[in-house]
Amino acid sequence: MIFSTAAGIRGNPAHPTCPPKLLLCTDLDRTLIPNGAQPEHPDARACFREFCRRPEVTLVYVTGRHQALVREAIADYDLPTPAYLVADVGTRIYDLDHEPWTELTAWEAEIARDWRGTTHEELARALAPCAELQLQEQSKQAPFKLSYYLDLNCDRERVLGWVTQILRGLGVTASLVWSVDEPARIGLLDVLPARATKLHGIEFLRRHLHYARREVVFAGDSGNDLPVLAGPIPSVLVANADAEVKAQAQTLARRQGRRQTLYQAVDGPFPLGGNYAAGVLQGVWHFVPALRPFLQAIAPPS
Q: Residue 47 is part of a domain; what is its CATH number?
A: 3.40.50.1000
CATH number, domain containing residue 176: 3.90.1070.10
- What mean pLDDT do residues 225-231 have? 94
Instruction: Note whether 68 and 208 are same-domain residues.
Output: yes
* CA atoms of 104 and 114, how far apart (whole Å): 17
Amino acid 251: pLDDT:
96
User: 131 and 89 in one domain?
Assistant: no
Residues 202 and 223 in one domain: yes
Phi/psi region, residue 11 (left: phi>0; alpha: psi -120 to 50; beta: rest), is: left
> What is the span of the domain harbouring residue 216?
5-109+196-298
Task: Write out pLDDT tens, residues 30-66.
Answer: 999 999 999 999 999 999 999 999 999 999 999 999 9
Closest C-alpha to 217, from 299, 282, 133: 282
Cβ pair 124, 135 in contact under 8 A: yes
Integer Cα distance of 25 and 129 in angstroms: 38
- Report the half-sphere exposure of 125 (CA within 13 A, side-chain side): 6
The structure's pTM equals: 0.86
For the chain, what is the domain count?
2
Please report which residue ranges of the chain form alpha helices under DSSP H.
44-52, 67-76, 105-112, 120-127, 156-170, 198-209, 226-229, 243-255, 276-287, 292-298
- Measure CA 128 to chain center: 29
**pLDDT tens-digit series, residues 141-195:** 999 999 999 999 999 999 999 999 999 999 999 999 888 888 889 999 999 999 9
In the listed set 136, 164, 193, which residue is the last one of a domain according to the structure?
Answer: 193
